[in-house]
Amino acid sequence: MMPAPKEPARPQGVERRLWAVALGIIGAFSLLCWQFWQLQVVNRLLFEQKAEENMVRQSDLKADRGIIYGRDGVVLADNRPSADVVLVPGECPQEQRQFVCKRLEELLDISAEDLHAAVQQTAKAEPFAQLPVKQDISKTDRFRLEERAFELPGVLTVVHPQRRYVQGKVGGQILGYLNEVNRQELETWEGYKMGDLVGRGGVESYYEGELKGTDGFVWVTKYAEGFPQLRTDRFGVPYIAKRDSLGHTLERGERRRPVAGNSLYLTLDVGLQGFCESLLGTEVGAIVVLEADTGAVRALASTPTYDPSVFISGRAEEKQALYAAKEPMLNRAYREVYPPGSVFKVMLASAALEEGVINESTTFTCGGSYQLGKRPWHCWSRGHGSVNIVEALAFSCDVFFYNVGMKLGPDRMAEWAKKMGLGVSSGIDLAGEARGLIPTREWKAEFNKKQPVWEQRWQDYDTLNTSIGQGSVSVTPLQNAITMSCILNGGRRVRPYLNAGLGPSLSEPFISPKTLDIVTRGMRMCVEKHKAPSGTGKEAYIEGFAILGKTGTAQFVGLDKHTKYANEEDIPKELRDHAWFIAGVTERTPKIALCILVEHGAHGSSAAAPLARQVIQYFYDHERPSELEPLQEMPLTLAQETR
């Protein structure tokens, strides 16, 4: 029997190495258990939150902007559902962004290069912001996006209220428009996010705080299918989808419903506004119609105008046509100033009578010019003969008012002009109002302070220029309508307003009944046709109406520019004088004060007065008594009266 083989001897130190491996394995498992403890127990709440953030996201619910109504409840601006495409950079992997942008270019006809640049920039600052891609897409575009949703990570279709301007161009400049809030505004304004729209110009801007609603939100589950959480039903009404196409629940718990903005009720007569704009047609000009006793704005027309919808979803050709027009964004009724010409004489006549420098019997002889030193200052007529204040207003005699201006002086002219609303802020509830200018001694000295001393001094020729509304005098059509209101309402200055909730605000009477009677007779004679010679405003006459009027022809360039043309018709339109007409109706309710300006219309008697006749006829043919209770009158403050 052979002996059993001897077991080989273990190498020295094996046990020690085995213990080391065992301890290493135990240590590793201990570390792993410790890490599990940290993840699942110690930091459980933190990682639950991160997991929740990966599973759900906050989806904004845009608030309806307040509806804007015209007089009698006519809708000017409301909202409709609109579908917008947005891209969330944080949900679109870096390596896929260029492909996604290229695909969106093919589907939506946008610039992939511009979009990719915007995505890259937004990803650095606000990776989970909703970057607008295209607004107000069609149903066809929405279906195409949903079909390709699997290859468009981070691309969503969201539904929100879209502004709609129901009347198109009518009142467009008064309403203003909307466009996206800029980065500087985002940094300084509260309650706005990237992509929000804000009011620009008109009442949209002035009442932004009231019209803007408060956005809501809802937490929704995120799934790879990419189906939009906010959709519209077959009637176009937006709603929040409860489940996606696979039956997954989309809505998660907390939500806040959006709160619509406040509605705004304007005094604007939409029919009259549209009629005034159509009357101006292709002419550049403005028509203002105020209720003389309250200051309520019934029309504030200016041409050319624009459709605010162009800035929301307008086609490229519509925008090009807008930019090609002559300053369509500028409402000439209150944001542009012009020399008033002879309509300024209404204020001058009132001031001279109140100051006692003339009376009803005062006459001056017009031989066709007023001599100042060696220079004759011509009247528009070859000579009116001996005229009093009533006749001077009716026939617009320059020589009479040269004499009145010299007697009254520049200081009292400026004081009374401001009292009657010229050259000062009217207080209308619209931004960007132009103030105009009534020149004074102090103004001239300051304006010419770098010129020789003799050019800084007020001269008699400055007084003559001012007395007929020329020289440095500049006013807005709205201010002229306010002056006309003073004559119609018993000598009180009104504060014009568009928001019906503001109500009337008038100064105390500052013109005596006797003065008003004299000025009224002169302005009535200006329009009257039955007495010879006829006044300059006879084209505004309407049988059966007690119409007051005053024409104005405001020199735009020096007379030397006209001398080379044999006939007035040969003068280029851009060199012709501006045409004015202010008017009012005394024996109808409500009394209206209106001002018409036609840029380069040549003569107020031929270009503006006939338009006034049509406006007055239209207004009273369509006017019906308001069912609203009369609003309480509030006096203007001293600051409002003199600013």
* Residues near 269 by beta carbon (within 8 Å), at least 6 away in sequence: 70, 71, 72, 289, 298, 299, 619
Q: Is 258 helix (H, G, I), strand (E, B) or coil?
A: coil
> Distance (Å, rounded) from C-alpha 342 to C-alpha 12?
124
Give span(s): CATH 3.40.710.10, the chain: 334-606
pLDDT of 175 over the 90 cut: yes
pLDDT for 227: 44
d(CA 412, CA 63): 53
Residue 453 dihedral angles phi and psi, to the nearest 5°? -60, -40
For position 188, what pLDDT does the model report? 86
For range 504-527, the mean pLDDT: 96
Q: Pick the more confident residue, 511 or 241.
A: 511
Q: What pLDDT sits at residue 573?
A: 76
Bond preceding residue 89 cis, omega within 30 of 0? no
pLDDT above 60: residue 508: yes
Mean pLDDT, residues 464-479: 95
For residue 281, what pLDDT is reported?
Answer: 93
Higher pLDDT, 325 or 163: 163
pLDDT, position 216: 83
As a whole number of angstroms, the distance between CA 33 and CA 472 comes to 89
Residue 138 reports pLDDT greater than 90: no
Helix axes 460-467, 398-419, angle to 10 degrees: 80
Q: Which CATH superfamily hosts domain 334-606?
A: DD-peptidase/beta-lactamase superfamily (3.40.710.10)
Confidence class for position 316, pLDDT limits 50, 70, 90 = low
pLDDT at position 360: 94
| pLDDT over threshold 90, residue 15 | no
pLDDT of residue 318: 63
Please report which confidence band the pLDDT of residue 469 belongs to, taking 50, 70 and 90 as the band edges.
Answer: very high
How much is the average pLDDT of 308-329?
72
Instruction: Write down the pLDDT at residue 23.
Output: 82
Report which of 319, 323, 287, 322 is spatially closest to residue 303, judged by C-alpha positions: 287
CATH number of 57-265: 3.90.1310.10
Q: Which pLDDT band, with edges at 50, 70 and 90, does 357 fall under?
A: very high
Amino acid at 520: T
- For residue 447, the surrounding DSSP H or E stretch is helix 441-447
- Is-contact 58 219, C-beta < 8 A? yes
* Residue 590 preceded by cis peptide, ω within 30: yes
Q: Residue 642's pLDDT is what? A: 37
Distance from C-alpha of 415 to C-alpha of 350, rounded to nearest angstrom? 12
Residue recorded with tokens 């528009």: 380
Mean pLDDT of the chain: 84
Least reliable range by pLDDT among 90-94, 413-417, 595-599 = 90-94
Q: Which residue has the tokens 């466009």?
A: 179
Model pLDDT for residues 385-412, shown as the tens digit of each residue: 999 999 999 999 999 999 999 999 999 9
User: What are the φ/ψ torsions at residue 324 (nearest 5 degrees)?
Assistant: -80, -20
Give residue 126's pLDDT: 76
More confident residue, 127 or 513: 513
Predicted pLDDT of residue 276? 97
Position 632 pLDDT exceeds 80:
no
| Banded pLDDT at 563 (limits 50, 70, 90) | low
Residue 345 has pLDDT above 80, yes or no: yes
Residue 619 pLDDT > 70: yes
> Which position has the higher pLDDT, 222 or 115?
115
Give 96-119 pLDDT, tens digit per residue: 899 999 989 888 888 888 999 988
**Stretch 198-210: mean pLDDT, rounded?**
93
The SS3 call for residue 229 is: coil
Q: Where are the beta strands (DSSP E) in 313-388?
A: 364-366, 369-372, 375-378, 385-387
Q: Looking at residue 295, what is its pLDDT?
A: 96
Most confident of 216-220, 309-313, 345-349: 345-349
| pLDDT, tens digit, 9 for 90 and up, residues 25-71 | 888 888 888 887 877 777 777 666 665 555 566 667 788 899 999 99
Reported confidence tier of residue 77, pLDDT bands at 50, 70, 90:
very high
Tell me the average pLDDT across 78-87.
86
Residue 311 has pLDDT above 60, yes or no: yes
Best-predicted range by mean pLDDT (14-23, 82-91, 249-258, 540-549): 540-549
Identify the CA nearest to 397 among candidates 597, 540, 536, 598: 536
The residue-averaged pLDDT of 562-569 equals 66
What pLDDT does residue 639 have? 35
Residues carrying CATH 3.90.1310.10, the chain: 57-265
| Per-residue confidence (pLDDT) for residue 626, from 0 to 100 | 46
CB-based contact 205:179 (threshold 8 Å)? no
Average pLDDT value for residue range 224-246: 49
pLDDT at residue 313 greater than cutoff 70: no
Q: d(Cα 309, Cα 329) in Å, to the nearest integer?
A: 13
* Residues facing residue 157 across a β-bridge: 85
pLDDT of residue 250: 56
CB 192 within 8 A of CB 185: yes
Looking at the predicted structure, is the pLDDT value of residue 243 above 60? Answer: no
Is the pLDDT score of 150 beyond 50?
yes
Q: What is the pLDDT of residues 437-467, one digit of tens each?
A: 999 999 999 999 989 988 999 999 999 999 9
